[in-house]
Amino acid sequence: MNLKILAVTLLLGAGLAQVPALAHAQSQPAPAQALPTPDKPLTAADLEGLREELRSSRKQIMAATLILTDAEATRFWPVYDRYAAERTVIKNSQYELLAEYANTYGKYDDKAALDFITRWLDQDVRLDTLRAKYVPAVGKVLPGVKAATFFQIDRRLSMAIDLKIASMLPILETQASVK
């Protein structure tokens, strides 16, 4: 099992190791081909493909990283599936917001930008509220250390996914260079 943990750690670490490069890259305008344009907007199919890949990978990584006995697994996975279903509802709203962002990029004014970021932060709050809601449920089916480990893994996966998505979207301020 330690080999699996190492592999997952390396996989996530490789993605997170690029944070300094991404921070620098996001301070520069993105290349024109990477920006959504009226001719080539980010499509629902693009987002759905990314979402399917992320959902599948997330559960596989969780299963490989969270070490459970057979009895714990029997109790945990139904709770996880309920949590994942509720998380998916929130993420659906977030992906709709992402599609709107990509398709509206270059057209934001100050009011629309503030509305966008307010709705984006609302999604973050909803996801944190969901995690808090599930702490007692996971704590009933797993010992405390394993329950906390689940939430650590969940947060790390969320951060890695959010980083991947953020690196795919242009910074709003650079929209002036698109006009």
CA–CA separation, 100 and 92 (whole Å):
12
Instruction: Report the domain count for the chain.
Output: 1
What was the pLDDT predicted at 85?
94
Is 98 in contact with 47 (CB distance < 8 Å)? yes
Residue 39 inside a domain? The answer is: no
For residue 57, what pLDDT is reported?
83
**The predicted structure's pLDDT at residue 166:** 78
Q: What are phi and psi of 170, to 5 degrees?
A: -75, 155
- Indicate whether 84 belongs to any domain: yes
What range defines the domain where residue 134 resides? Answer: 2-26+45-177
Output the tens digit of pLDDT for each of the chain's 179 residues: 433 443 344 444 444 433 333 333 333 433 333 444 445 555 556 666 767 777 778 889 999 999 999 999 999 999 999 999 999 999 889 888 888 887 888 888 999 999 999 999 999 999 999 999 999 999 999 999 999 999 999 999 988 888 877 777 778 776 655 55
Residue 118 counted as domain residue: yes
Within a domain: 31: no
Structure confidence at residue 86 (pLDDT): 96
Other beta carbons within 10 angstroms of residue 92's beta carbon come to 11
pTM (predicted TM-score): 0.70
Q: Could you give the CA distance from residue 57 to residue 4 in angstroms, rounded to a whole number?
A: 14
Does residue 173 belong to any structural domain of this protein? yes
Is the residue at 103 inside a domain?
A: yes
Q: Specify if 59 maps to a domain.
A: yes
